[in-house]
Amino acid sequence: MNKISIKWKTFSIFLIFAIVLIGVLWFFQIVYLNDFYKMIKKKETEDVLNQVEEILMSSETPDEEIEKLAASYNLGVYITDSEGSPLYNAEYISNSQMSSLPQFLFSLFYEQAVGNGGEAVIEFKGSQMQRTIEKEIVPSEEMPKPEDDTSNTSEEGQSTDESTDSEENTAADDTTEENAEEKSEIVQSEGKIEYTIPKEKKEEQFRQNIGNEMAESVIYVRIIEIDGVEEVVMINSVLTPVDATVSTLKQQLKLISVIMIVVAFLLAVAISKNISKSIIKLNDGAKKLADGDYSVKFDSRDYMEVAELSDTLNYAATELGKTDSFQKELIANVSHDLRTPLTMIKGYAEVMRDIPGENTPENVQVIIDETERLAGLVNDMLDISKLKAGTITIEPEEYNITESINHVLERYNKLREVEGYTIDFIYDDEVIVYADEQKMYQVLYNLVNNAINYTGDDKKVTVIQKSFGNTLRIEVKDTGDGVKQEDIPYVWDRYYKDKTAHKRAIQGTGLGLSIVKNVLELHGAKYGVSSIQGQGATFWFEIQKNPFAEEE
């Protein structure tokens, strides 16, 4: 199954983010607009109530400051004495009629505030006032009955036919519990006493929010005492946002949504294209690199990570190019080293077969020597492969490394006698080390063999053994042209070989120094090379005689 490209994935993520953002805006601005508005207005009303109380307590001109507060917050502020007589009135809400608050409702508000410790909050909806006041359940015979304003009752429609003041008073005194229920409509249920507007006072209803039956309002009531006199502060606030405001917000959000989707689409296309462009370019270059084109250059610099990846790929391309060059050189050298001994073996064998008397020990020895040369070449190739694969481990033991060096040098006695090579070994005392004898023998042999291959016309090689406390240092010097300074970092590479100094006399595959490097690293030894052009080169390594000496 094909995976989605980074271009379309980035595009999708960005577009989805924009859609989610728009959805969140709609959710909070439209769905929960009423709840947020109510919460803010309630907090705002409480703050104004505190400010009004402070003004009444300290200001000499409270009416002006209260007027400013009501105007600033679009509230209705109505202040009366404890009997309901108005003291201050500032109404800046449409359809607010706090000044026409009926006496019986004022009494209910006042009683509730007194019962709640001096404060009350009355919420209602639409144009009809109906308020539920929580009180303790009381027996029906003790149930309080709202006061009946006889003066208002007579004004609201009592028949005047043959009625007298004495009759009205008698009727009031003789009022039964049943008549009280009809007038007050008090209903007791589960710890609440619901007060509804008395039937006889329908015309005195608090006509708030006329024309908008869905509007919600709140009245904050607080009783304060100023110079021993009680004053009742009532602040009216509309909790429902204005329909025009909601409609405007919806229209704005629709327009904003369209604009954001278009902008998000364009940005998603631009960003996804810009991000994917660099990666696509790197991918194309990597394909060329995989096909063997090591000259490819990665120059993407759009982002820090992409720039780092470009540098890494450039480094990889350079190293792969060097490796490829060394491999080709190795093949050429190995082919040369294989062809020559095979040719000699074949030639001597044919001579011994075809010419009587040529089956001599000398000719047989030539065949043996060339066979050993081939075996050494194959073994070197196998060893370096195993070392790189990590399949070779060392088996250290205590042995005389000075004696081991002498054994290595003995292998070159024929070169000394026939070719005139001089191989000197300089040391003070014999040294015992804790290492893998076979692997260290291979290291010493390869270093000496490398020095013989590249020494000067004097054919001189010097091996020096030095001892510093627990450290043993071995140096192998030649008198050749030395190693070029720019080539020193690469002499330990497995394919490195100075083709300008290749000699047929001693085997050389370009693998010897790489084997030396890997074996010394397995022993935790230090190694290096120092060279001055025209004065030869010195290959050295340092190893601990006893790696456990410090621990003991």
Residue 33: is its pLDDT beyond 80? no
At 317 the three-state DSSP class reads helix
Q: Which of 61-70, 456-465, 516-525 has the lowest mean pLDDT?
A: 61-70
pLDDT of 370 higher than 80: yes
- Residue type for 339, please? R
Q: Bigger pLDDT: 539 or 247? A: 539
Q: Right CATH number for 333-544 from 3.40.50.720, 3.30.565.10, 3.20.20.70, 3.40.50.10540?
A: 3.30.565.10
DSSP 2: P
pLDDT of residue 164: 38
pLDDT for residue 207 is more than 70: no
Looking at residue 159, its pLDDT comes to 37
User: 211 pLDDT exceeds 60?
Assistant: no
In SS3 terms, 122-188 reads as EEEECCCCCEEEECCCCCHHHCCCCCCCHHHHHHCCCCCCCCCHHHHHHHHHCCCHHHHHHHHCEEE
Q: What are phi and psi of 462, to 5 degrees?
A: -125, 130
Handedness of CA 149, 153, 155, 159 (dihedral sign): negative
Residue 537 has pLDDT above 80, yes or no: yes
Note the pLDDT of residue 190.
38
**276-303: pLDDT as tens digits:** 777 888 888 888 888 888 888 888 777 7
Q: What is the largest CA-CA distance in the chain?
A: 174
195 Cβ neighbours under 8 A, 6+ residues apart = 108, 131, 132, 133, 146, 184, 185, 186
CA gap 252, 29 in Å, rounded? 11
pTM of the model: 0.45
Q: Where are the domains of the chain?
A: 32-140+177-241, 333-544
Amino acid (one-letter) located at 451: A
pLDDT of residue 147: 45
Residue 431 has pLDDT above 90, yes or no: yes
Between 193 and 431, residue with greater pLDDT: 431
pLDDT higher than threshold 80 for residue 255: yes
Rg (CA), the chain: 54
Please check the confidence at residue 352 and state whether its pLDDT lies above 60: yes
* CB-count burial class (<10 Å; 0-12, 13-18, 19+) for 195: buried
- Domain range 32-140+177-241, CATH class: alpha beta
Is the distance from CB of 396 to CB of 380 less than 8 angstroms? no
Distance between CA atoms of 470 and 381, rounded to whole angstroms? 34
Mean pLDDT, all residues of the chain: 76
- Among 185-194, 296-305, 519-528, the range scoring the smallest mean pLDDT is 185-194
The pLDDT assigned to 407 comes to: 92
Residue 232, number of CB atoms within 10 A of its CB = 22
> pLDDT (tens digit, 9 = 90+) per residue, 445-470?
989 988 998 888 899 999 999 999 99
Confidence (pLDDT) at 382: 80
pLDDT for the residue 126: 60
Reply yes or no on whether the pLDDT at 154 is more than 50. Answer: no
For residue 210, the model assigns a pLDDT of 52
Q: CB under 8 Å, gap of 24 or more: what pairs does 435-438 form?
A: 435/394, 435/396, 435/397, 435/399, 435/401, 435/523, 435/543, 436/394, 436/395, 436/396, 436/397, 436/519, 436/522, 436/523, 437/397, 437/399, 437/404
User: What CA–CA distances, in Å, run from 66 to 43, 49, 97, 99, 223?
Assistant: 18, 10, 17, 15, 16
> Each residue of 296-325: pLDDT tens digit?
888 877 778 778 888 888 888 888 887 787
**What are the contacts of 413-416 at 24+ separation with CB within 8 A?**
415/452, 415/505, 415/506
Percent of the residues in the chain that have a pLDDT greater than 90, as a whole number: 19
Q: Which single residue is written with the structure tokens 């006199």?
A: 229
In whole angstroms, give the CA distance from residue 326 to residue 306: 30
| pLDDT higher than threshold 80 for residue 95 | no
DSSP 8-class letter at 98: G
pLDDT per residue over 376-420, tens digit each? 778 877 877 777 777 778 899 999 999 999 999 998 887 788 888
